[in-house]
Amino acid sequence: MESPIKVFSNWVLNGKDEGMEKNHSTSVENMIKYSTKGFDKYKFIDAGCGNGWVVRKVSSDPKCISAIGVDGSIHMIEKAKMLDNKNEYFCHDLLKWIPKEKVDIVHSMEVFYYFEKPEIIISRIYDNWLKNKGRLIMGIDHYIENKPSHSWKEDISITTMQLLSKNTWLNFFKSAGFSNVEYWYFGKKGKWNGTLIITGIK
């Protein structure tokens, strides 16, 4: 069993990181479309940005003033910088990092359940990352209602991977202070319950 950062650093070294975009692009498209629709212009952070594919995608939107990626894996950040010299990337512990300026949208796909206490990162984002009226939007595929994902921790051999219910995640958002908290499932198919998307406003 290895830590999430170690696992994903290894993914970069063997090229497996490129599958993230392929596997999650439709869910992320849905999240971006929803989260950006209320803004004439916006500043954006991808929390747990991996190789930067979401940052590169969002930064092509004329409404996007700035796009930043932050990730705990130095190999992911090195690859992101290699692929993209337009946007900013930071290798840092998400629980300790604070942006120089607060932003309008914080996005995160398949990241928060790798924290021992996901409620802490959600609260930190609320307190330190987002402007007033800013939006956090999160997508995850590993949760109790999505039964095919239950074996992932053992399949990947990873030390930290929280398997929590939809209601627990909703409560994390509400306890952090978010209002207008909404959720939906995207991409349901057969036994696959789809990506759980949760969003709220500061």
* Domain housing 117: 4-201
Task: Please count the structural domains in the chain.
Answer: 1
What averages of pLDDT result for each successive group of 10 residues across the chain (202 residues)? 57 53 82 96 97 96 98 92 96 96 97 96 98 98 97 86 97 98 97 97 98
In the DSSP assignment, the letter for residue 52 is S
Backbone dihedral angles phi then psi of residue 190, each to the nearest 5 degrees: 60, -130
Residue 76, both tokens: 């992911």
Is residue 199 within 8 Å of 139, Cβ to Cβ? no
**Domain at 100, CATH number:** 3.40.50.150
* DSSP 3-state of 159: coil
Q: Is the pTM of this model over 0.95?
A: no
Backbone dihedral angles phi then psi of residue 116, each to the nearest 5 degrees: -60, -40
